[in-house]
Chain A
Amino acid sequence: MITFDKVGLTYAEADAPVLADVELTIPEGELCLVIGRTGSGKSTLLRAINGLVPHFSGGTLSGRVIVDGRDTRRHRPRDLADVVGFVGQDPLAGFVTDTVEDELAYGMESLGLAAAVMRQRVEETLDLLGLPDVRHQPLADLSAGQQQRVAIGSVLTTHPRILVLDEPTSALDPQAAEEVLATLQRLVHDLGLTVVLAEHRLERVVQYADRVVLVPGAGRPVRHGDPAVVLQDSSIAPPVVELGRVTGWRPLPLSVRDARRRAAPVRALLADRRPPTPERRAPGPPMEPLARVDHLVAGYRGLRVLDGVSTGLWPGEVVALMGRNGAGKSTLLRALVGSKRPTSGRVRLGGVAPDELKPTELLRHVGLVPQEPNDLLYAHSVALECVQADRDAGVGAGTTRTILERLSPDIPDSAHPRDLSEGQRLTLALAVVLAARPPLVLLDEPTRGLDYTAKHRLVEILRDLADAGRCAVLATHDVELVAEVSSRVLVLADGELVADGPTPDVVTASPAFAPQTAKILAPQRWLTPTQVATALAEVTEVSL
């Protein structure tokens, strides 16, 4: 169906090729998962399938990409629109029309299908993706999961044989991600569609994949094959695979179900061991909270986003803020930095209200890395950005650069912040925030687009912050990260705080928030493969 024949690609003004000598054949009806670190060329590989690379991106393509018998060198993306459906990273950025129905019909209109055919296919697609209730609604008013499904539907209506998706679930909460993946699964099984998708959250998708393509980056050869084989020694692996490596299961389990069926002996070994509990310093006197939120109500024009939230944040904590898309996580963070004024209730940062602080004082109390780290950055180079941050924070020259060096040592001074990878940009924004030494650091969705290596780095940074007596709060959908790093979890739903407690208690209470390790070893409360590895090592030592 898709053949890459000695494909290489070098972007204009780049020294080294992104892809070199890619030999790959994807047969019809397969669900193919493309993995690799950020910036390794996954997106380039996906975009080469429908000709966006090189027709839209520029650069030099060597070799040939043949899709359903058509050579992408001679066919522009629009000429392949009836064979390949392409869904980009941000569904909202790719919407051309205003409402769901119009968006679904858009591709068919371009192909010039008859009106009667279009009517019928729109109805079929609405049913297939579970969207009939929102058919007339404006796209901007839909939830993130619905938007992603509309984006998929809008390319399905032209009846393509191949569906290409770039990180379809990375911005979604666990429930919405399930929705989208279930849809893809159905398309592969019912319609025999060939699906190629790139994803960082392997724990969500790897179990559905027939084949994994590992793009190692820097022009090194692409590896592909059976998921269990490719993942055996890959540095990128979901927790279930890591657990499989720790326990020595062969072939590697890819789903919770596979692993659980083999987990009984491990559970028996671990039966009399206690999982480590996060140490929680006693709240209240003598420890003063860094921030207090009392009966906070906040919203936008008639819509109550936060509805009576009360909690506190203490030094030495890493707090995870979870909840559906639109549950009020970002609004709570914005209220903590004073960008969102409370309708009623109050927010206090060590006794003062954040919205009354002058900006120059605010950054000494609290720092926020926004969802889009770019918003914080505006210089032309990393070096200039660091100098500017020193000046903003009123600290000695070189402070920011030193912090950045510790967080991520390999960022060149001369690079433009926009050319950095997602992970590097996040660390740069974090370094800028940390320069003023705020005791409270907030991160909004820090793991969007981060690979496992960058995530491990982030975990270490957050632990260091907590050890230094500061408090970090992260709003995230990533249950694995939460299990790894946080000591306390807050769950928001419909503007109210529905759970507030130590991580093990909260995440094991509901399957939606449980990490894979916890699901495999339930009812025991192990959260990460690392915990299990440590415990197993102790057990074997004792038995020797």
Chain B
Amino acid sequence: MRPQHLVTHPRSLHPGAWWLWALGLAAAASRTQNPVPLLLVLAVTGFVVAARRSDAPWARSYGAFLKLALVLIVVRILFQSVLSSGSQGPTVLLTLPDLPVPGSTGLKLGGVISLEAVLQATYEGLQLATILCCVGAANSLGSARRLLRSMPGALYEVGVASVIALTFAPQLVTDAGRVRAAQRLRGQSGGGLTSMKRLAMPVLEGALDRSVELAAAMDSRGYGRTTHRSRGSRRLTGLLVFGGILGVAVGVYGLLSGTSTSWFGLPMLLAGCVLAATGTYLGGRRTGRTKYRPDPWALPEWLVVGCGLVPAVTMFWSVRTDPASLFLASATTVPPVPLLACAGIMVGLLPCVLAPPLPRVGPVAPVGTAPVEAAA
């Protein structure tokens, strides 16, 4: 057996496997508003991230996603309990002074805030937050840039755009911090519309400059240098790929929304996948791009993807057989524990042993000296 098939052989897992695993968990979370499985998914992602992430800068992003998720829940509660009149129930928590709003809009300002509305908003917010954390987990376990490396060479323009976008977003945050600090030096306390305008100008201009610089660097290093490719074949590739992506999008929507008829979902997804694969294969055959030390796709990758698939499948099955336990009839009832779905989600925890451990990064020990741990 080759070493990459061993789950104990230290190497970093293919980022694609992490993304598929996380998407499986996210798909599971998208089909329930019961807080029990949702919190379980959250715990599973957090645990696996803690067990298998590296100490690279992008691996620290899970915390940021978690914070964003909390903000999301709070915003959701505020909006739904203070502004919506439709979701209020009989258990009144408190009554705020209210402003009159025409009754037909379904909106209100202040007034009665009920336990039902707050709980409902919490559960819905929790669902979104869980999906967000799944993406965060994927991002910190499998670097998105390394994932792009595995992208077929046929998608040149998309590749450039994605790399620039990936650089753009985090850089924007650092720049904003720097410019805010500089604003203080000019006697601005921050806040207000003028301050926002003053922040936006230098930050956006700087980010734009850098993006152009990066694109120039990619070009001068030969990115997108294609060997003999006709206009016709390029069009065909583009058509196939985008048709395929459209099919995948529609298929995923059909599958996850659960409202449309069954012909919509799975077959559309499969057809989309086939189209996109043909397109990228045709296009990829024509570019002269090669891969340096391609990430292997071996047994651990299959296992991890499987561990992501199981929660999704069990959840979809449970929705069909026992919908009442996944969508609560009333927000105030004690949430039941859907056993099958929870067992499925627990399988998602296995990658913390099934994914290979990371190799130790650091200076190479000089020849002839034993590692300190071994000597101790």
> Which of A80, A93, A374, A392 touches B188 (beta carbons < 8 Å)?
A392
> Which residues of the partner chain A approach B216 to less than 8 Å between Cβ atoms?
52, 56, 77, 88, 94
Report the stretch among B33-41, B70-78, B174-182, B318-326 that lies at the interface.
B174-182
The 9 closest A-B pairs by CB, nearest first: A81-B222, A112-B288, A94-B217, A105-B292, A110-B222, A375-B182, A77-B220, A107-B221, A86-B220
> Which residues of the partner chain B approach A433 to less than 8 Å between Cβ atoms?
185
Report the stretch among B142-150, B240-248, B341-349 that lies at the interface.
B142-150
- B218 close to A (CB within 8 Å): yes
> Which residues of the partner chain A approach B143 to less than 8 Å between Cβ atoms?
98
CA distance A505 to B222 in the complex (A): 51
CA distance A110 to B290 in the complex (A): 7
- Is A376 a contact partner of B220 (Cβ separation < 8 A)? no
- Is A106 a contact partner of B221 (Cβ separation < 8 A)? yes
Q: How large is the interface on B (under 10, 10 to 19, 20 to 34, 35 or more residues)?
A: 35 or more
CA distance A394 to B188 in the complex (A): 12
Given contacts A158-B221, A378-B197, 18 further A-B contacts (CB under 8 A): A78-B223, A80-B220, A86-B217, A86-B220, A97-B149, A105-B292, A109-B290, A110-B224, A111-B222, A119-B293, A122-B292, A154-B221, A337-B184, A339-B181, A360-B189, A370-B178, A370-B182, A374-B206
- Is A133 a contact partner of B364 (Cβ separation < 8 A)? yes
The residue on B at minimum CB distance from A108 is: B292
- Is B364 a contact partner of A375 (Cβ separation < 8 A)? no
- Is B225 a contact partner of A111 (Cβ separation < 8 A)? yes
CB distance from A514 to the nearest CB of B (A): 31
Q: Mark A55-89, 1 if CB is under 8 A from B, else 0.
A: 11000000000000000000011111110101010
- B289 close to A (CB within 8 Å): yes
Majority DSSP secondary structure for residues of B touching A: helix
- Can you identify 24 A-B contacts, CB atoms within 8 angstroms? A78-B219, A78-B224, A80-B220, A81-B220, A94-B214, A94-B216, A102-B292, A107-B221, A109-B289, A110-B225, A112-B288, A115-B292, A118-B293, A137-B361, A141-B56, A154-B221, A158-B222, A339-B185, A359-B183, A359-B185, A362-B184, A370-B182, A376-B182, A418-B205
CB neighbors of A among B123-146 (8 A): 143, 145-146
The residue on A at minimum CB distance from B56 is: A138
- A334 close to B (CB within 8 Å): yes
Q: Mark B192-220, 1 if CB is under 8 A from A, else 0.
A: 00000110011001100010011111111
CB distance from B210 to the nearest CB of A (A): 5
> Which residues of the partner chain B approach A155 to less than 8 Å between Cβ atoms?
221
- Is B146 a contact partner of A98 (Cβ separation < 8 A)? yes
The residue on A at minimum CB distance from B212 is: A56
- Chain A residues proximal to chain B, CB less than 8 Å: 50-52, 55-56, 76-82, 84, 86, 88, 90, 93-99, 101-102, 105-115, 118-119, 122, 132-134, 136-138, 140-141, 154-155, 158, 334, 337-339, 358-360, 362-363, 367-368, 370, 372, 374-378, 389, 392-394, 418, 432-433, 436
The residue on A at minimum CB distance from B213 is: A93
CA distance A346 to B292 in the complex (A): 51
> Which residues of the partner chain A approach B181 to less than 8 Å between Cβ atoms?
334, 339, 370, 375
- Is A79 a contact partner of B188 (Cβ separation < 8 A)? no
CB distance from A449 to the nearest CB of B (A): 14
> Which of A118, A141, A375, A389 touches B292 (beta carbons < 8 Å)?
A118
- Is A111 a contact partner of B288 (Cβ separation < 8 A)? yes
The residue on A at minimum CB distance from B221 is: A107
CB distance from B131 to the nearest CB of A (A): 25
The residue on A at minimum CB distance from B222 is: A81
The residue on A at minimum CB distance from B200 is: A378
- B363 close to A (CB within 8 Å): yes
- B187 close to A (CB within 8 Å): yes
- B58 close to A (CB within 8 Å): yes
CB distance from A315 to the nearest CB of B (A): 21
- B186 close to A (CB within 8 Å): yes
> Which of the listed residues A55, A78, A88 has the most CB atoms from chain B within 10 Å of its own CB?
A78
The residue on B at minimum CB distance from A375 is: B182
> Which residues of the partner chain B approach A141 to less than 8 Å between Cβ atoms?
56-57
Given known A-B contacts A102-B292, A109-B290, A118-B290, A376 and B217 have beta carbons under 8 A apart = no
> Which residues of the partner chain A approach B361 to less than 8 Å between Cβ atoms?
136-137
- Is B185 a contact partner of A376 (Cβ separation < 8 A)? yes
The residue on B at minimum CB distance from A373 is: B182
The residue on A at minimum CB distance from B59 is: A138
CA distance A96 to B222 in the complex (A): 12
> Which of A77, A93, A96, A375 touches B163 (beta carbons < 8 Å)?
A96
- Is A363 a contact partner of B291 (Cβ separation < 8 A)? no
> Which residues of the partner chain A approach B217 to less than 8 Å between Cβ atoms?
86, 88, 93-96
CA distance A88 to B209 in the complex (A): 13
> Which of B146, B189, B290 touches A112 (beta carbons < 8 Å)?
B290
CB neighbors of A among B335-376 (8 A): 359, 361, 363-364
